[in-house]
């Protein structure tokens, strides 16, 4: 099993008749004036190529400097399908807390082996009351 893509976005829409996915508001960074900050809603879209056997993958989001302390983690069931067929991951993440600015890594792994990863840059911007 291999993962071929992993993206952050604001919304994933699926067409009823065709099953096609539309990703709205794809992003790789965001900014906040204060930390910790809670992002009320974000989506993750990924594609995994099937090996033919069902499996459970682990999706984690963690500060790159603290991979042992993920701010989000969940198991994802990957169905057994014809080898080489594509399975879409569509995950809604609610109320994820980012303790500090920095680089965060989203990864999907199977049996502790990473399949794919991407990064999210979280920036601190000065607020209106910041010292001049």
In this predicted model, which residue has the larger pLDDT, 119 or 132?
119
Q: Are 12 and 45 in contact (CB under 8 A)?
A: yes
pTM, rounded to two decimals? 0.88
Q: How confident is the model at residue 70 (pLDDT cuts 50, 70, 90)?
A: very high
Q: What is the pLDDT of residues 38-47, one digit of tens each?
A: 999 999 999 9
Peptide bond into 31 cis (omega under 30): no
CA distance 68 to 78: 24
The pLDDT of residue 96 is 96
Q: What pLDDT does 129 receive?
A: 57
pLDDT at position 132 is 47
Q: Given this model, what pLDDT does residue 22 score?
A: 96
Going by C-alpha positions, the residue among 33, 130, 48, 129 that lies closest to residue 86 is 48
CATH architecture, range 2-123? Sandwich (2.60)
Q: Which of 95, 60, 59 is nearest to 76 (CA)?
A: 59
Per-residue HEC secondary structure of 87-124 comes to EEEEEEEEEEEECCCEEEEEEEEECCEEEEEEEEEEEE
Where do the structural domains in the chain lie, given as residue ranges? 2-123
What is the Cα–Cα distance from 94 to 47, expressed in whole angstroms? 21
């Amino acid at each position: 099993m291999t993962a071929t893509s992993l993206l952050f976005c604001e919304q994933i829409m699926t067409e009823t008749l065709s099953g096609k996915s539309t990703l709205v508001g794809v992003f790789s960074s965001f900014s906040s004036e204060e930390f910790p900050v809670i992002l009320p809603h974000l989506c993750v879209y990924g594609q995994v190529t099937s090996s033919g056997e069902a499996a459970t993958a682990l999706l984690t989001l963690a500060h790159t400097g603290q991979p042992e302390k993920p701010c989000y983690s969940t198991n994802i069931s990957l169905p057994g399908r014809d080898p080489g067929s594509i399975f879409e991951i569509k995950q809604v993440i609610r109320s994820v807390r980012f303790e500090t600015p920095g680089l965060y890594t989203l990864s999907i792994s199977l049996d502790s082996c990473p399949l794919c990863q991407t990064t999210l840059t979280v920036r601190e911007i000065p607020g209106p009351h910041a010292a001049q």
